[in-house]
Chains A and B, each alone.
Chain A
Amino acid sequence: MERIEAVQAAVSVLPRELRLALLACPKGQQSHWEEIRLRAGRGMSCVDGTGGEEPVNLPVTAEDLRLTVELATRASLQSVSEKLAAGFLPLKGGHRLGLCGTAAIREGRILHFRALSSLNLRIACPVPGIGAAVLPDLMESGRFQSTLILAPPGEGKTTLLRDLIRLLGLRGIRTGLADERGEVASLHQGAPQLDVGPLADVVDGCPKGEGLMLLLRAMSPQVLAADEITHPDDVSALCQGANCGTAVLATAHGSSLEELSHRGVCKPLLEQHVFSRLVTIAREGGERRYQVERLE
């Protein structure tokens, strides 16, 4: 039911005709949708939990894509140009719209897309409780152990991170969350749109590295959390947090620790043994399985 509500909220950024076509699909189908993909000149398809694409019989034009972005930005591309440089737009409710097309570049940075070729509407759907099975393995003597959640894109790292933060809050553990893209808590006028529990302090809209340092200085968190470590500043802030005795909880793209260790940016985290637990996510059929590993 929650996923259907999330789907209905997410598709509100689509032009009326496309939206109605999607909402006319059976609820049973909608409840499995995780992404909606639109490709100019081709069509629209819905991606379910298995990663398979199910086409929706309706042609999509380049103008449909432009209108979607117009709706998503309330006709204000200028106010999201920073986010556009990352190739996606965060939407209210934690959903996000990925963009593809002919980019206009200035000083090496994406300014806007001259023409859009495809869009990917990722539906955020919090799954309260998914972290409950994992959390006991991440605790030791009542203390949360620094944990890295590792999985390829679209496997549910952010969903697990959000639920772990929520569960930590319920256990009375204060978390400082650097939510650069607003995907974890999705702050709207200061209030999280997605449940991150009662004790999460959230910084969003600024680079993760700066956000983490700000949290460390200003909010004295017991756990520092960040989604998707991609920049050396994120790594250095997490290392600094760990050195101050704060547990860290972070996610990274990758399918194995070995793959991650080859990536230069994350190397210091592994070399300094910042994490003592590793959670990997594997998909079996439509179900996700979480595996916790102790790191020496």
Chain B
Amino acid sequence: MIRLLGSLLVTGACLWAGWSRRQWYRRRRQTLSDFCHAFARMEAELSEHETETAALLSLMATGAGRAEPFFRRCLGGMEQLEYRPFSEIWMNALTQSDLPLRQEELALLGRGGRLLGRYDGKAQALLLSQLRREMERCLEHAREEERRQGKTAVLLGLTAGLMAVMLLN
């Protein structure tokens, strides 16, 4: 009985590890997609209304899905403008938000802090759209990876669990 329970626990744990990897791929895809939508909205706001950065962040802090916590942190960080540049506030918010993204995707997002608020509205919208296009390429990769490796991760987890049970028995 104890052996059966142990086998189930080992298999379950490995399956869970595989399943959570699959979930990570899904969260990554959703996060990238939400950032792309948020940037598209920001581009429109900047080119049409030249919206102030704080107001822009405030808008994104309530309507950007998985990107919301990041924008909320950025908005909160505006209080520290006296002590640190906006690009640093943006980077701090990125590191603190614990986003399910790869290092290169985080580096890409980090570029946003070096373009927001530095130029006129149209120039910012243009630079933001370039950044968004690169993010969309990352999103495509993320979709592909989720499709190919999501199921594999679950299967690998299950297989690893069964193998462990067999070896332990």
Query: Residues on A close to B: CB < 8 A?
Result: 12, 16, 66-67, 70-71, 73-79, 81, 84, 104, 106, 111-112
> Chain B: interface secondary structure?
loop
Count of B residues near A, CB < 8 Å?
20
**Is B46's CB under 8 angstroms from A16's CB?**
no
| Stretch from B47-55, B145-153, B161-169 that touches the partner | B47-55
Query: Residues on B close to A: CB < 8 A?
Result: 46, 50-54, 78, 81-83, 85-86, 116-121, 123-124
**Is A77's CB under 8 angstroms from B120's CB?**
yes
Task: Give the residue of A71, A73, A84 whose beta carbon is less than 8 angstroms from that of B82.
Answer: A71
Q: Bound state CA distance, A285 and B93, in angstroms?
A: 53
> Chain A: interface secondary structure?
helix
A78 and B46 contact, Cβ closer than 8 Å, known pairs A16-B82, A67-B85, A70-B81: yes
**A residues less than 8 Å from B124 (CB atoms):** 78
A274, chain B: closest CB distance, angstroms: 37
Given A74-B81, A81-B121: 20 more A-B contacts, CB < 8 Å: A67-B85, A70-B86, A70-B118, A74-B53, A74-B54, A74-B78, A74-B117, A75-B53, A75-B81, A75-B86, A76-B54, A76-B117, A77-B117, A77-B118, A78-B46, A78-B53, A78-B119, A79-B50, A111-B123, A112-B118
Whose C-beta in chain A lies nearest to the C-beta of B118? A77
**Is A74's CB under 8 angstroms from B52's CB?**
yes
Q: Bound state CA distance, A104 and B121, in angstroms?
A: 13
B154, chain A: closest CB distance, angstroms: 44
Q: Bound state CA distance, A74 and B118, in angstroms?
A: 10
